[in-house]
Amino acid sequence: MEFETGGLGIVILNKADAGRMGLHALDRVILTKNHSTAVAVVDITEKFASEGEILTNMEVTEILKIKLGDEIEVIPSPAPESVAYIRQKIIGSKLSQDKMNVIVRDVVDKKLSDIEMSAFVTALEVRGLSMDEVEYLSRAMVKTGKSLHIPGKNIVDKHSIGGIPGDKTSMLFVPIVAAAGLIIPKTSSRAITSPAGTADRMEVLAPVALTAEEIIRVVKKTGGCLVWGGALDIAPADDAFIKIEHPLGIDPLLLPSIMSKKKAMGSQSVVIDIPTGRGAKIKTVGAATELAEDFVELGKRLDIHISCAITFGEQPLGYCIGPALEAREALEALDNKGPQDVVNKAANIVGVLFETMGIDRHTGYDHAIRIIKSGKADKKFREIIEAQGGNGKVKVNDIPIGEHHMHVKSEEDGRILWMKNGEIASIARAAGAPRDKEAGIKLNVKMGDPVKKGTTLFTIYAKHANKLENAVKLVETYKPMVIGKTYTQNMMMERFPTEIKHRRIFMLER
């Protein structure tokens, strides 16, 4: 069969043959031919394979080097050891380091079926993980991937748990920190359910799919980088887990996912940004503090110094959402023209790092601001862009944004009372972000700003007219900004049952 699953091999057997071998759909078989063996999951058909015939997909065909008409040996195979451990997690046992190693090894080797992967991820979500299990899982994920060995000490990093549209903090953080003489080999993800990941934003300015060797070269030269982590094969199990978490909208591997990558990159000190508030992933400072404690504890176990910044997350950061718009805004912020919240947040998070590193024990924030004001951060950013293969002399207006656009205007006088992060992200995605780098949203107002009837609230940019249309339709459904005279004017926050059913907006970022 001319397809591959990207996972466990698949074979299709006739029902009679399967019956004779006592095989059910989704059981495993070991296939042997030409001294090669492959394991595959069984699908059963009454039509497409006759008795004595077996259909193999590309994974199997390639391993066994078989062609049409070849005979292969088929033997029922038990489920791998890891399935027994997944069952143990389901029934509530705690898993040991050895068992986690076996599970993660089998995940990376693609020995588990979607059903087994989903059962594991669901059981982790429902049962929760003990801190021991989080540590074991993190170590197993490091062990099954590559590690980067960057020479030097003071290797630092920064990570946001995400959920806030427009969060381009890393594009300021990396150059400030590198300008201060620290080493920051920053890897980022592309957007999964958001309008832009840091890798998408940076790709507007420079190539981000660098090899490990290229990263080491860039970091040696400039002290920092902003690259896509996906091609480095660090903690490869995570990609397999995300594939399952995404359709289910659950995220039980947040801690091991983030921290295994930091460990594999050799980080010694890391600041975790936890955007918090209604419309963010973490809703309350209490919950954020609990998560921060877990990060710190896990850091101790993995020998990484962790500090956390709990930041205001009730609205998008800055005014720009979407890869190109955000790249522009980051350049402006480093050029001392940036929106206050973008600069303030970056300087605050850098400040936490400076203080914990002992670089500036009490006024890390001021120190960060001085580095921006002096132009050193801007210079460093352009060095990094150049070293990664981009144009270090790029100007804001060189960066194209979507030629199709639409101004969304206020229908009444008042103030911006609430903004809906998830809905704004969905609108930007409908407009084409992150795939269309030029697509996105430019806000004209933020929470608390006064507006009049007819004031532009935001502008949607798109590369394709039909996508602009889709985005505009969503604006009508979602009403992403709530406008009123005062907070006392309308006490109703949401009604139930709601008219917009099953609006599953979920921003999974790592």
Closest to a second copy by CB, 195 or 299: 195
Helix (H, G, I), strand (E, B) or coil at 295: helix
Our finding on whether 287 is near a second copy (CB under 8 A) is no
DSSP at 363: -
Q: Which of residues 349-378 bind a second copy (CB under 8 A)?
A: none
Nearest approach, Cβ of 197 to a second copy (angstroms)? 13
Closest to a second copy by CB, 66 or 445: 66
Our finding on whether 246 is near a second copy (CB under 8 A) is yes
Our finding on whether 126 is near a second copy (CB under 8 A) is yes
Our finding on whether 393 is near a second copy (CB under 8 A) is no
Query: Whole-angstrom Cα distance, residue 356 to residue 404?
Result: 46
Question: Which residue in this structure is represented by tokens 């004779």?
Answer: 20
Our finding on whether 231 is near a second copy (CB under 8 A) is no
Tell which one of 100, 121, 182, 428 touches a second copy (CB under 8 A).
121
Nearest approach, Cβ of 24 to a second copy (angstroms)? 6
Query: Whole-angstrom Cα distance, residue 271 to residue 293?
Result: 13
Closest to a second copy by CB, 168 or 467: 467
Query: Whole-angstrom Cα distance, residue 341 to residue 167?
Result: 10
List the end-to-end C-alpha distance of the chain, in Å, as a whole number.
Answer: 35
Our finding on whether 47 is near a second copy (CB under 8 A) is yes
Which one of the listed residues 157, 251, 378, 436 is annotated catalytic?
A: 251
Q: Which residues contact 30 (CB under 8 A, 6 or more apart)?
A: 37, 38, 39, 74, 75, 76, 77
Whether omega for the bond prior to residue 252 falls within 30 degrees of 0, making it cis, is: no
| Six-digit token string for 314 | 């009730």
Our finding on whether 217 is near a second copy (CB under 8 A) is no
Contact between 159 and 269 (Cβ < 8 Å): no
Our finding on whether 58 is near a second copy (CB under 8 A) is yes
Query: Whole-angstrom Cα distance, residue 327 to residue 149?
Result: 29
Query: Whole-angstrom Cα distance, residue 342 to residue 319?
Result: 9
Contact between 421 and 164 (Cβ < 8 Å): yes
| Six-digit token string for 116 | 């087994």
Question: Which residue in this structure is represented by tokens 């790029």?
Answer: 394
Closest to a second copy by CB, 212 or 431: 431
Span from 5-13, 360-368, 391-399, 416-424 in contact with a second copy (CB under 8 A): 5-13
Closest to a second copy by CB, 26 or 296: 26
Span from 153-161, 166-174, 240-248, 278-286 in contact with a second copy (CB under 8 A): 240-248
Hey, CA dihedral for 138, 144, 149, 150, is it positive or negative?
negative
Tell which one of 249, 286, 375, 454 touches a second copy (CB under 8 A).
249
Tell which one of 30, 32, 37, 45 touches a second copy (CB under 8 A).
45
Our finding on whether 90 is near a second copy (CB under 8 A) is yes
Tell which one of 67, 149, 153, 504 touches a second copy (CB under 8 A).
504
Q: Any catalytic annotation for residue 449?
A: no
Helix (H, G, I), strand (E, B) or coil at 74: strand
Contact between 334 and 406 (Cβ < 8 Å): no
Q: How many CB atoms lie within 10 A of CB 498?
A: 9
Nearest approach, Cβ of 142 to a second copy (angstroms)? 25
Tell which one of 87, 283, 301, 415 touches a second copy (CB under 8 A).
87
The catalytic site residues sit at 251
Residues at the interface with a second copy (CB under 8 A)? 1-6, 12, 19-20, 22, 24-27, 43-45, 47-48, 55, 58, 78-79, 81, 83-84, 86-87, 90-92, 113-119, 121-123, 125-127, 192, 243-244, 246-250, 429, 435, 501-502, 504
